[in-house]
Structure 1
Amino acid sequence: MDFFHAIILAIIEGLTEYLPISSTAHMIFASSYFGIQEDDFVKLFQVSIQFGAILAVVALYWKKFLDFSKFSFYIKLACAVVPALVLGYIFDDMIDAVLGDPIPIAIVLILGGVVLLFIENFFKSPTVYKEEDITIKKAVTIGLWQCLAMMPGTSRAAASIIGGMQQKLTRETAAEFSFFLAVPTMAAVTVYSVFLKTYHQTGLKGYELLTQNSDNIKMFLLGNAIAFVVAIVAIKGFIGVIKKYGFKPWGWYRIIAGIALLAYFVINK
């Protein structure tokens, strides 16, 4: 992977991480299209640049994250992230295996798009209009929904937003809580990938891969900076779209993108 590839992947991460369209599916397509070799450093890079996307949420909602007088906010996030931490650790190797086959990921992308087209018909009459009204029980339930995203192509954002709407959150509140929940979830995944996980091809830890040479460190820093800036734009745009149009535009996008990816990978298999 060179710097051009790093920039492309970072832009994709920033654009797609908080949208219900699956950053994983887009990363896989980009890697295949641009001929990016799927080695241990690439796998680490794709996860580690989530740190920049995390900082984008903290920067946009800094009043929420830095208001230490509202301890219940942190309790909700801590409780909601537990299911993903436990199941993610248990199924880590299985998830890596699925990532090797893009066809089922494209199919999941399409099916998720169909769900988004009709999601608002299923969950009507919301009663929760702000984060303060989300109970710990609702937060944990949303966290369980988020675990559906362990199937690559599902989208962590889509799963947690649907979970929020199932728990009677408005679509805007569900989207914002999805952003909040992403911070501890992605932070935990990033820490695990960088400091704890041993990568199969090289037998190295993530931080050892990063420090192998100066280019790896530079790509890591550049990727996170780009993901941070792009994610800020994407989050603001997403909130504006769902307020005006709901989730149907994202549903149609997933279906069209999924069909295109399916055709691409079937032809090039």
Structure 2
Amino acid sequence: MTLFHVLILAIIQGLAELLPVSSSAHVILAEKLMGFDPSAPDMTFLLVMLHTGTMFAVIVYFWKSWKKTYFSSWESFKKQALFIIVATGITGVLGLTLQAIIKHVFFGGASNFEIEQLFSNTKLMATALAAAGILIILSSRLDKGQTGEITLGRASMIGAVQALCLPFRGFSRSGATISTSLFLGISRQKAEEFSFALAVVLTPAVIAKEFYRLIHTQSLQHTQISQLMVPSLAGMIFSFIAGLVALKWLSAWLEHGRWYLFGIYCLVFAGVVLLLG
């Protein structure tokens, strides 16, 4: 894998991660087209590093609005923190339960099963993309510019939907959580802020998991891990820049009622994945 390959994947990741079109589906397909194995530990590690770059882009982009919403007072911080903790906790419990069900029902409880094995299944990825596209289009049609706020019940439902994004690459996390918020009558701005606040909380756990997986895998030596760090760090920087561009794009389309266009794109891209997969 060359630095050029990393640059291509970083730009794709940075743009697609923060747009509701599933970065994983785009990156995995790009990896396949370039002859890489998306389920390989080194590629998974690179993907996590690219996710780290976009996480920092989210923090930089939303910091000013989060200060007004989440850090305006101690009471506001406690209330919003509770919503985020509850949503993330539900995501974790349901996500792990779903992975256990997949392992025992579809893989016979194999001890060596890892959820990353699903990432190479293009049919499953295309189905998840199509489902996300339909969800986005429906939420856009039902969105009448509501002004609702996040509540504990709504945060719980958003967290439950977010759990579906963990095992199914293609089911866009931002697309699913923002769409669910719109279905629940939450304002567009609040939906966007809450969705990406959840992303910032969830991403470090994913990074830690993949670091553990990479270090303990038998297919990579410590010297190889060191060799991965430089191109991965470069990719993180590129994905950070691309992520800032993507967030401005998403905010503009969401605010001006063009949210449904992302759904149409997901449906089209699902067909592309099937065709090229």
TM-score bin, normalised by smaller chain: 0.7 to 0.9
Partner Cα separation in structure 2 for residue 34 and residue 147 of structure 1? 30
Partner Cα separation in structure 2 for residue 25 and residue 219 of structure 1? 21
Indicate the SS of the match to 2:165.
helix
Partner Cα separation in structure 1 for residue 114 and residue 137 of structure 2? 29
Output the aligned Cα RMSD.
2.5
Residue 169 in 1 paired to residue 186 in 2?
yes
Show the counterpart of 1:72. Answer: 79
Residue in structure 2 matching 1:135, options 151, 157, 173: 151
- 2:17 is aligned with what amino acid? E
- 2:57 is aligned with what amino acid? A
Show the counterpart of 1:179. Answer: 196
- 1:224 is aligned with what amino acid? M
Distance change in 2, residues 1:125/1:213 (3 Å): closer
Show the counterpart of 2:14. Answer: 14
Show the counterpart of 2:138. Answer: 118
Give 1:250 deviation, angstroms: 0.6
TM-score, structure 1 length as denominator? Answer: 0.85
Give 1:157 deviation, angstroms: 0.9
Shifted more, 72-81 versus 153-162: the winner is 72-81
- 1:71 is aligned with what amino acid? K
Partner Cα separation in structure 1 for residue 80 and residue 232 of structure 2? 31
Matches within 5 A, 1:152-231: 152-194=169-211, 196-197=212-213, 202=218, 212=224, 214-231=226-243
Do 2:94 and 2:160's aligned partners in 1 also have CA atoms closer than 8 Å?
no
Show the counterpart of 1:50. Answer: 51
Give 1:139 deviation, angstroms: 1.6
Shifted more, 166-175 versus 178-187: the winner is 166-175
Show the counterpart of 1:85. Answer: 92
Residue by residue, what CA displacement relative to the aligned partner does 1:101-151 show, whole Å, maximum 9, x if unpaired?
1122113212322332222334557341xxxx4223322221111112132
| Number of equivalences | 256
TM-score, structure 2 length as denominator? Answer: 0.82
Give 1:257 deviation, angstroms: 1.4
Residue 249 in 1 paired to residue 264 in 2?
no
Partner Cα separation in structure 2 for residue 218 and residue 227 of structure 1? 14
Show the counterpart of 2:61. Answer: 60
Do 1:85 and 1:188's aligned partners in 2 also have CA atoms closer than 8 Å?
no
- Unaligned 5+ runs, structure 1: none
Partner Cα separation in structure 1 for residue 270 and residue 37 of structure 2? 22
Partner Cα separation in structure 1 for residue 225 and residue 116 of structure 2? 25
Partner Cα separation in structure 2 for residue 240 and residue 123 of structure 1? 16
Residue by residue, what CA displacement relative to the aligned partner does 1:175-228 show, whole Å, maximum 9, x if unpaired?
22111111001121112211x336785266xxx76x635431111211111111
* Paired-residue identity, %: 29
Give 1:50 deviation, angstroms: 1.0
Give 1:156 deviation, angstroms: 0.7
Residue by residue, what CA displacement relative to the aligned partner does 1:33-81 show, whole Å, maximum 9, x if unpaired?
1112442111111123211111111111224268374233333222211
Do 1:51 and 1:186's aligned partners in 2 also have CA atoms closer than 8 Å?
yes
Partner Cα separation in structure 1 for residue 270 and residue 55 of structure 2? 26
Indicate the SS of the match to 2:256.
helix
Give 1:10 deviation, angstroms: 1.2
- 1:54 is aligned with what amino acid? M
